[in-house]
Amino acid sequence: MSKPKVLLTRQWPEAAEARAKELFDVQLNEDDHKMSVEELQDAMKTYDAVCPTVSDFQITSEILDVEDRKCKVLCNFGVGFNNIDTDAAKAVGVVVTNTPDVLTDCTADIAMTLLLMVARRAGEGERLIREKKWSGWRPMHMLSTKVTGKKLGFIGFGRVAQAVAQKAHFGFGMELSFYDPYPPSDDVIKKFSATKLESIEDVLKSADFVTLHCPGGGSNTNLMNAERLGMMKKSAFLINTARGDVVDEPALVQAIRDGVIAGAGLDVFAKEPSVTEDLLSMDNVVMFPHLGSATTETRVAMGMCSLDNVKAFFDGEEPPNRVA
């Protein structure tokens, strides 16, 4: 029996691509270019499975609804899948999977890195040294915000949020609160001595740091708007490792410029790879180019997870990480 034909839409780590070659008749993206809508439409007619990423064009009915579509399953390389219109996929009978769990720890590491950097003015300090403008230690130079013992509020308290909670509470003695419409068990809440609050607004009003861990798209688009940013403490920082569209970037710029909040740490942006221009010149904003899962270990694991979903589907089994 011939092997299923599978397309990887972007370049993957070598180990994951090697396994893909073993399992399937695979097409790699050798030059790692962003495929056009036309290329993705052609892929729907050419391959049994496509493994897309968040950096592709959104896979909507325009791509899925092609004549003579051959593709039966989209195995996303990533835990977030708002790059795929799952309703459109369901409408044409295409299964959708993601890669949860394997990127939890590294994304949590990045959230804590952003929190520490923006609180302690680390990016600003490093630039000072690189630009040879440091004149030496002095008592009032670059005073910043203490992290240990402060209040950390979570919007969403799923896997990544709980990994951040582990580091923040047990590593830095932070006091935790959260809002999540689907809260974890009482045992999880008790483990972190966390306070479950009844609304996003309650979290915003009490926290010294607010970290976002909710899905993007839909009703969460611009969840952090001007009104909600205005509910945060003037001394508070916003951390986003979720999805860029959760934050209204122009409103964030205005809130930081007006001193409504103290600053932000961002790993994701609303229109990646474009970044709102005004953010680039703000010293009290730390920005990473979507590095949450960017360790070799995690990206290999994500590839393996995606391939496990492909294999299960074509073995006639329920894919372990099906989302649609």
SS3 195: strand
CATH number for the domain whose boundaries are 104-287: 3.40.50.720
Cα–chain center distance at 12 = 18
d(CA 16, CA 303): 5
Predicted confidence (pLDDT) per residue in 266-314, tens digit? 999 999 999 999 999 999 999 999 999 999 999 999 999 999 999 999 9
> Which one of 272, 277, 299, 317 is the catalytic residue?
272
249 catalytic? Reply is: no
Supply the mean pLDDT for the chain. Answer: 97
Predicted confidence (pLDDT) per residue in 7-33, tens digit? 999 999 999 999 999 999 999 999 999
CATH number for the domain whose boundaries are 5-101+296-314: 3.40.50.720
Tell me 76's DSSP state: -
Please give the pLDDT value at position 150.
Answer: 98
> Which one of 121, 228, 243, 299 is the catalytic residue?
243
Rounded (5°) CA angle 304-306-310: 110
Tell me 95's DSSP state: E
> Which one of 19, 213, 290, 299 is the catalytic residue?
290
Q: What are phi and psi of 184, to 5 degrees?
A: -75, 180
290 catalytic? Reply is: yes
Q: Give the residue among 251, 203, 194 at the shortest CA–CA distance from 224.
A: 251
Same fold, 5-101+296-314 and 104-287: yes
d(CA 292, CA 159): 14
> Is residue 310 within 8 Å of 316, Cβ to Cβ?
no
Q: Report the predicted TM-score, pTM, of the whole model to 2 decimal places.
A: 0.94
d(CA 27, CA 122): 42
Give the DSSP per-residue string, 144-200. ----TT-EEEEE--SHHHHHHHHHHHHHH--EEEEE-SS---HHHHHHTT-EE-SSH
> Residue 1 pLDDT > 80, yes or no?
no
Domain locations along the chain: 5-101+296-314, 104-287
Q: What are phi and psi of 159, to 5 degrees?
A: -60, -50
14 catalytic? Reply is: no
Predicted confidence (pLDDT) per residue in 191-244, tens digit? 999 999 999 999 999 999 999 999 998 999 999 999 999 999 999 999 999 999
d(CA 182, CA 18): 38
